[in-house]
A and B are shown apart, each in its own frame.
Chain A
């Protein structure tokens, strides 16, 4: 077996270093030998070699669908890749609950909402509702959390007002709809409203959603971003750590 080259890491098909990549895409032209050659040529021009068109078929009104395989010529230097990561540690609900009550001595106060036009509360509900998600109970169930779920289509100003009124420690927002990057615009909007009122440091700011990454969240001024695969206990654990940091019990 060949040694893996971490300085030039390429995809793995069936042999180390083969750089095998599978593409599927649609062209807005009818399938034809010309369309097939055009698709292959495009992939070659992207820098892939050994380009094979495995499948071409008609899709809808005048579209051609392709499955194409090729080999990447250029890899990535794996050693130089940097990613801000949330602490990977996981505690279960009971352990977190116990630590909040022992170490913070009162429930952490959380206000959650879907802001902007987004009406999809599945993610927010999964984190906040008693029931939680996939066996991991929601924050409502914790004795260590006081939660307010404002639901969908909440204006940033309303959210901030409520968070102040509830003396919240943290604000949770959920973004599902991503068409035309509306989730990013909405995320910025909340930060902007906080800044206008000089409140950007007042709350722990957490955002979640399928297309939200921790990196994106940090860039926009949030304390954390939770993506697909996050559970209520992940959010709970993060809030515990952050609260400890805030009250000076942890550096």
Chain B
């Protein structure tokens, strides 16, 4: 028996997991090569600069990129890609991109029916447009990093960053709450989306003041919150990070808008959409690739949603599917050129607090995840499933969460709320939650380096078992195929067929002349 600063985990098994995840990633890569989606095609147009919107639909504006992709789709031309046909329209009309936009909005131009022009001229113009679009994005990203460099970065303190969510439905109310959270020591603010948004097949436009259980993700809302956090950050000489959600049917579009407006993190996980929002698997895996390419270009750190698996199953037993999914997410992110330092892989403290040794088991999982993904700013999520109206006890559970997070040096602590099971947090709830975390994270700084683990103890054995189970699970997934595994309920006990789900209509096989110069310009490995 001995003690060590780290858990004794088999390097061979970890390497084996990565090798299997690599082969699973190849299955996803093939899907990405063979397919595109209406979401990806709309994002191409947005990347060129087509970010306007018009016409009311249920009180919201409908984006130009949707109009154009709808036009191209209607005439069966989408198999060549949206960029090709926009460039074709510009060649045919001998006009600028702005002219095309104005004519489409005025109802005078249908990009889907413009007469095909000589291919070489269209491709030449298309490449130029794409290059300008990518260059424009890069220059915005550069400006953003200048702002960031001027402020002190809490990430350099080598302790978990404190993350909270605002969710009023009204962006201006959100601003007040976000600033308040920052005053109380919060370093990452997420604006949770309106609960219906993941299933909208377009991105709403403008500043919004109505939402259900959250606030719509729009470019303007991003801008408003970004400016507010920069302002309060300057007051405190501290760089405050902003998070939103690139999931659902507009994954890639949200990623682009977030890149333009200088967001720092995006929840970005196809598996979350597949399992919990019943989004078509192929649609969201293809969207995810372009989404992650954009994040890689923009320095945005993705967050993955494995924490959710633990909410619908017994978290003591779901460690293997969480770990397996983290390996798969790591691989698909690497395929999009994201460095591991930009992958906040997700997990959570969701075991039943009444289990004996539950804190030991949680510590085992948290430390194991830390060791297996040493460079990832892991996103560690508080307990939510077993929270009740007993708010004082919930506060104690959160304290244990904070201590485990600090001792295992997680990258981001998604802080718990005493009133988690009661309502969307009140201002004072957020403040109590922040005080709890500040005390513990500050007080336990460096504690993980002071203590060790018994090499043959309960904690080591629990972690080893999770890893063993994950190896077996990954091998089973590889054997039957990733899509089949999802279909059979290997993740979170939810079964989703590859052809079912929302947004399936928006997926298409690319044609032999499909035109997409973006992936190459953005150094895609697929």
Contact of B428 among A25, A120, A182, A228 (CB under 8 A): A25
Interface residues of B in 292-327 (CB under 8 A from A): 311-314
Inter-chain contact B428/A24, CB cutoff 8 Å: yes
Q: Beyond A61-B179, A63-B180, A117-B212, is A179–B169 a contact (Cβ under 8 Å)?
A: yes
Given known A60-B180, A131-B313, A131-B314, contact A119–B198 (CB-CB < 8 A)? yes
A151 contacts which chain B residues (CB < 8 A)?
A: 278
Which residues of A are found within 8 Å of B212, using beta-carbon distances? 117-118, 177, 179-180, 182
Of residues A65, A119, A210, A228, which shows the largest number of chain B Cβ atoms within 10 Å of its Cβ? A119
Interface presence of B389 (CB below 8 A) = yes
Contact (Cβ within 8 A) B213 A131: no
> Which A residues are CB-close (under 8 A) to B431?
59-60, 65
Interface residues as binary, A51-67 with B (CB distance below 8 Å gives 1, 0 otherwise): 00000000111010100
User: Does B213 lie within 8 Å of A179, measured CB to CB?
Assistant: yes
With a cutoff of 8 Å between Cβ atoms, the chain A residues found around residue B184 in the complex are: 59-60
A121: which of B179, B276, B422 is its contact (CB, 8 Å)?
Answer: B276
Chain A CB within 8 A of B388 CB: yes
Q: How far is the CB of B500 from chain A (nearest CB, A)?
A: 11
Contact of A153 among B179, B181, B196, B388 (CB under 8 A): B196
A60 contacts across to B, CB distance below 8 A: 176-177, 179-181, 183-184, 427, 430-431
In the complex, whether A147 has a CB less than 8 A from a CB of chain B is no
Q: How far is the CA of A118 from the CA of B198 in the complex (A)?
A: 11
A64, chain B: closest CB distance, angstroms: 10
Q: How far is the CA of A60 from the CA of B174 in the complex (A)?
A: 13
Interface residue? B493 (CB, 8 A): yes
Of A24, A61, A182, which contacts B183 at CB under 8 A? A61
A228 vs chain B, min Cβ distance (A): 6
Bitwise interface map of A from 178 to 222 toward B, beta carbon under 8 Å scored 1, else 0: 111010000000000000000000000000001000000000000
Which of chain A's residues 160-190 have a Cβ closer than 8 Å to chain B? Answer: 177-180, 182
Q: Does B421 contact A (CB under 8 A)?
A: yes
A121 to B308, CA, bound (A): 12
Known A121-B276, A153-B199; judge A129-B312 contact (CB<8 A): yes
Q: Does B426 contact A (CB under 8 A)?
A: yes
CA distance A177 to B212 in the complex (A): 8
B352 located at the interface, meaning its Cβ lies under 8 Å from any Cβ of chain A in the complex: yes
B424 at the interface (CB under 8 A from A): yes
Least CB distance, A28 to chain B, in whole angstroms:
9
> Closest chain A residue to B386 by CB distance?
A134
B195 at the interface (CB under 8 A from A): yes
B423 contacts the other chain (CB 8 A): yes
Whether the Cβ atoms of A117 and B428 lie closer than 8 Å is: no
Whether A152 sits at the interface, judged by CB under 8 Å, is yes
Distance between B164 CB and nearest chain A CB, rounded to angstroms: 11
- Asked whether, in the complex, the Cβ of B183 is within 8 Å of the Cβ of A210, the reply is no
Per the bound structure, the CA–CA distance linking A134 and B278 in Å amounts to 24
A91 at interface, CB cutoff 8 A: no
Q: Which residue of B lies closest to A119 (CB)?
A: B195
A230 CB within 8 Å of chain B: no
A117 touches B278 (CB 8 A): no
Contact string, B178-201, partner A, CB cutoff 8 A, digits 1/0? 011101100000000011101100
Contact yes or no, B196 A117, CB < 8 A: yes
Cα–Cα, bound, A153→B503 (Å): 14
- Tell yes or no: A130 within 8 A of B by CB: yes
Interface residue? A26 (CB, 8 A): yes
**Pairwise interchain contact B195-A26, C-beta atoms closer than 8 A:** no
* B195→A118 contact, CB < 8 A: yes
Residues in B whose Cβ lies below 8 Å from that of A121: 276
A210 touches B421 (CB 8 A): yes
Decide yes or no whether A104 CB sits under 8 A from chain B: no
- The CA of A126 and the CA of B493, in the complex, are separated in Å by 11
Q: Is A234 an interface residue (CB 8 A)?
A: no
Are the C-beta atoms of A120 and B493 separated by less than 8 Å?
no
A130 to B311, CA, bound (A): 15
Binary per-residue interface labels of chain B (382-425) against chain A in the complex, 1 for a CB within 8 Å, 0 otherwise: 00010011000000000000000000000000000000011110
* Minimum C-beta distance from B433 to chain A (A): 11
**Nearest CB in chain A: distance from B386 CB, A:** 8
| CB <8 Å contact, B493 and A65 | no
Q: Knowing A59-B427, A59-B428, A177-B213 are in contact, say whether A122-B312 is a contact too (CB < 8 A).
A: yes
Residues of A with C-beta under 8 A to B183: 60-61
A125 within 8 A of B: yes
Give the shortest distance, in Å, between B204 (CB) and chain A (any CB).
Answer: 14
The reply to whether the CB of B223 lies closer than 8 angstroms to some CB of chain A is no
Residues of B within 8 A of A210 (CB): 421-422
Inside 8 A of B426's CB, which chain A residues have their CB? Answer: 26
Contact A134 B277 (CB under 8 A): no
Cα A81 to Cα B181 with chains together (Å)? 42
Rounded to whole angstroms, the CA-CA distance of A106 and B422 in the bound complex is: 39
Given A61-B176, A65-B428, A179-B213, A117–B312 Cβ distance below 8 Å? no
Task: Tell me the bound Cα distance from A210 to B213 in angstroms.
Answer: 15
- Are B195 and A228 in contact (CB-based, < 8 A)? no
Taking CB atoms and an 8 Å cut-off, the chain A residues in 117-155 that contact chain B are: 117-122, 125-126, 129-131, 134, 151-153
Most buried by A among B198, B213, B423: B213
Interface residues of B (CB under 8 A from A): 169, 176-177, 179-181, 183-184, 194-196, 198-199, 212-213, 276-278, 311-314, 352, 385, 388-389, 421-424, 426-428, 430-431, 493
Subset of 28 A-B contacts with CB under 8 Å = A25-B428, A26-B427, A59-B427, A59-B428, A60-B176, A60-B184, A60-B427, A60-B430, A60-B431, A61-B183, A63-B180, A63-B428, A118-B212, A118-B213, A119-B196, A119-B198, A119-B276, A120-B195, A121-B276, A122-B311, A129-B312, A129-B493, A131-B493, A134-B352, A177-B195, A180-B169, A228-B421, A229-B388
Given contacts A25-B428, A131-B313, A151-B278, 19 further A-B pairs with CB under 8 A are A59-B431, A60-B176, A60-B181, A60-B430, A63-B427, A65-B428, A117-B196, A117-B212, A119-B196, A119-B277, A125-B312, A129-B312, A130-B493, A131-B493, A153-B196, A179-B169, A179-B213, A182-B212, A210-B421
Shortest 3 CB-CB contacts between residues of A and residues of B? A60-B180, A59-B431, A177-B213
